[in-house]
Amino acid sequence: MKYTEIACLLALLPAALVAQEALFQTDLPDIEGREEVALEVTLPPGSDSPPHRHNAHTFVYVLEGNVEMQVAGGELQRLGPGGTFYENPDDVHTVSRNSSDTEAAKILVVFIKKKGAPITEYVED
């Protein structure tokens, strides 16, 4: 995947997540048709995103700040630095927010997904 393709994928992330940096992308040769994409995402104070899904195995690691994450049918998770969160490809991510109204939060997000598929798809409440 070219950097321009990564930029197009970033454009599909929730608008509240205004600062994203593509860190790494690679095909996964032992998993046909799959790729890995790693992003660093900065969530502004008080930001959240509408319900969405990633259609990917999604791994989140909190680098800075405090966030709240939840998938449909799951428990709300409050995470600080070093906290982790996982979404499977069928999950709907119902809560994704920076729990601080004054401090930004920074997360590392790693997706294992179908090659070329969009990172984020919005869903109805």
Superfamily of domain 3-122: Jelly Rolls (2.60.120.10)
- 24 closest CA partner among 41, 10, 6: 6
pLDDT in tens, 109-119: 999 999 989 98
The dihedral sign for the CA sequence 114, 12, 40, 55:
negative
pLDDT in tens, 42-100: 999 999 989 999 999 999 999 999 999 999 999 999 999 999 999 999 999 999 999 99
pTM of the model: 0.83
Q: Does residue 120 surpass a pLDDT of 80?
A: yes
Q: Does residue 15 surpass a pLDDT of 80?
A: no
For every residue of the chain, DSSP letters joined together read --HHHHHHHHTTS-TT--EEEEEEEEE-TTSTTEEEEEEEEEEPTT-B--SEE-SEEEEEEEEES-EEEEETTSPPEEE-TT-EEEE-TT--EEEEEE--SSS-EEEEEEEEEETT--S-EE---
Domain ranges (residues) in the chain: 3-122
pLDDT of residue 125: 66
Q: In which band, very low, low, confident or very high, does the pLDDT at 22 lie, cut at 50, 70 and 90?
A: confident
How many Cβ atoms are within 10 Å of 32's Cβ, its own excluded?
8
